[in-house]
């Protein structure tokens, strides 16, 4: 007997900048393919970004990877599109599905695919009102549904694989994972990961960390923030972090450069640290699930729109937190994202570190009560 034909889902991802778009789409594609009875095709315009996140990927027109059919989306080669569309089409972050593909979708309107625009993550209140709203495409007459990830039950939730929380809670391989990556922290050292965009506030952070009463061991995956760190190191007449000098000691502070990590390894980095500095969307979501203290460097938008998003998240995240933690964490996050951080911000925040850790655990439990994004997407189509 032949196996039943599984419905096909197409996810279109246009890499704009950094790794947020492809990071979210690749995690979502893998979860959908592994946990649901569907075939997933991921169309990516810039495979080099996927290769950085998942090094076994190749820069080829078509490949099967982690049960996902990954296809190169070439802007000027319409022949790459298949003769018929999928049953569900996800347009990630308004990336504009090509007109050729839309024509295929519209060819049989009675059985037209479910067309979903997966939007960026935000904690702003208007997201709840816009989640699952629809619009009609003027060119094709097809209906498009807007799907908003979020932090409440009136949104699409967050990416969370079925095994993720249990896997993190049972994580007991911190020491071996650190050794595997060449990390030997001093006894009782505070372990910090620093993954952020370029940020001049690093100067104040380094000053505070040098003065810290206990040792700090900071791991820096290769990326934009290394340029900011090296700028400060040059001013201090010190060697720069890099392949030839991966380890630098500054008083009570140890900087260690590590390679850019594939997604599953980055998760383990987050689980192994005491505090995580994270950036963008994908690493931000994973830091929430890691349930360790974290500090978000949000992607800058025109007219400071990102600061409203930052404040909206803090309002939700800190709603039930102790008042002193609310004050100090809000002060630090705002300063880190607005160029006025001082060593005093760090010292004040560390005084409430225990409360911060406890609150992150409670926050994860609250978030885990919301259906995850993949589940909500799948259930919306059946």
Which residue out of 39, 91, 119, 281 is catalytically annotated? Answer: 281
- pLDDT score recorded for residue 108: 74
Across residues 344-365, what is the average pLDDT?
98
Q: Is 1's pLDDT higher than 50? A: no
Q: Could you say which DSSP state residue 300 is in?
A: P
Q: Any catalytic annotation for residue 282?
A: no
In 143-202, the DSSP E strands lie at 143-147, 190-194
Q: Tell me whether strands 88-92 and 134-136 are parallel, antiparallel or unpaired.
A: unpaired
CA 303/CA 309 separation, integer angstroms? 12
74 catalytic residue (yes or no): no
Compute φ and ψ for 262, nearest 5 degrees. -65, 160
Distances (CA, A) of 238 to 143, 184, 233, 295, 334: 59, 22, 5, 27, 29
Name which of 216, 221, 245 is nearest 233 in CA terms.
Answer: 245
Mean pLDDT estimate for the chain: 94
Q: Provide, for the chain, the percentages of residues in helix, strand and coil under a 3-state DSSP scheme, each rounded to the nearest 5.
A: 40, 20, 40
Count, residues in the chain: 382
Joined together, the tokens standing for residue 67 give: 């049960």
Q: Give Cα 178 to chain centroid, integer Å.
A: 22
**Could you tell me which CATH number the domain at 8-156 has?**
3.40.50
Residue 157 near residue 149, CB atoms below 8 Å: yes
User: In whole angstroms, what is the distance from residue 288 CA to residue 275 CA?
Assistant: 12
CATH 3.40.50.2000 intervals, the chain: 164-367
Residue 202 has pLDDT above 60, yes or no: yes
pLDDT confidence of residue 244: 87
Compute the distance between CA of residue 308 and CA of residue 329 in angstroms, rounded to an integer. Answer: 16
Q: What integer is the mean pLDDT of 192-211?
A: 96
pLDDT tens track for 29-39: 999 999 999 99
Contacts for 88 with CB less than 8 Å, ≥ 6 apart: 7, 8, 9, 10, 38, 113, 114, 116, 381
Of 21, 91, 282, 372, which residue is the catalytic one? 21
Least confident of 87-91, 148-152, 300-304: 300-304
Q: Which helix (H) or strand (E) holds 132?
A: none
CATH number given to 164-367: 3.40.50.2000
Q: For residue 108, give both structure tokens.
A: 């049989």
């Amino acid at each position: 007997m032949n196996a039943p034909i599984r419905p096909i889902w197409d996810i279109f991802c246009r890499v704009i900048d950094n790794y947020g778009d492809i990071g979210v789409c690749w995690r979502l594609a893998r979860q959908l393919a592994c946990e649901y009875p569907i075939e997933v095709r991921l169309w990516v315009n810039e495979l080099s970004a996927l290769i950085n996140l998942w090094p076994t990927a190749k820069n080829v027109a078509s490949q099967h990877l982690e049960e996902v059919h990954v296809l190169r989306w070439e802007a000027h080669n319409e022949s790459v599109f298949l003769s018929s569309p999928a049953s569900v089409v996800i347009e990630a972050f308004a990336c504009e599905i090509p007109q050729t593909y839309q024509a295929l979708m519209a060819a049989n309107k009675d059985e037209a695919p479910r067309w979903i625009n997966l939007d960026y993550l935000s904690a702003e209140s208007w997201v709840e009102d816009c989640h699952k709203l629809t619009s009609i495409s003027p060119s094709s007459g097809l209906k498009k549904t807007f799907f908003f990830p979020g932090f409440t039950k009136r949104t699409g939730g967050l990416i969370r694989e079925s095994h993720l929380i249990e896997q993190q809670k049972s994580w007991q391989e911190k020491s071996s994972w650190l050794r595997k990556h060449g990390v030997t922290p001093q006894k009782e050292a505070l372990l910090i990961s620093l993954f952020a965009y370029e940020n001049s506030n690093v100067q104040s952070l380094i000053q505070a960390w040098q003065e810290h009463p206990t040792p700090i061991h900071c791991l820096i995956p290769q990326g934009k923030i290394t340029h900011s760190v090296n700028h400060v190191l040059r001013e201090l007449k010190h060697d720069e972090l890099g392949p030839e000098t991966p380890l630098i000691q500054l008083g009570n502070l140890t900087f260690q450069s590590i390679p850019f990590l594939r997604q599953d390894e980055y998760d383990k980095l987050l689980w192994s640290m005491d505090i995580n500095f994270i950036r963008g969307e994908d690493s931000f979501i994973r830091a929430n699930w890691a349930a360790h203290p974290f500090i978000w460097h949000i992607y800058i938008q025109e007219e400071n729109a990102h600061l409203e998003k930052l404040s909206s998240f803090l309002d939700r995240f800190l709603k039930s937190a102790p008042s002193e933690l609310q004050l100090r964490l809000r002060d630090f996050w705002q300063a880190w994202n607005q160029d006025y951080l001082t060593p005093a911000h760090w010292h004040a925040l560390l005084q409430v570190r225990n409360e911060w850790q406890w609150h992150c655990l409670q926050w994860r439990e609250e978030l885990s009560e919301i259906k995850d994004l993949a589940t909500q997407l799948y259930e919306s189509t059946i």
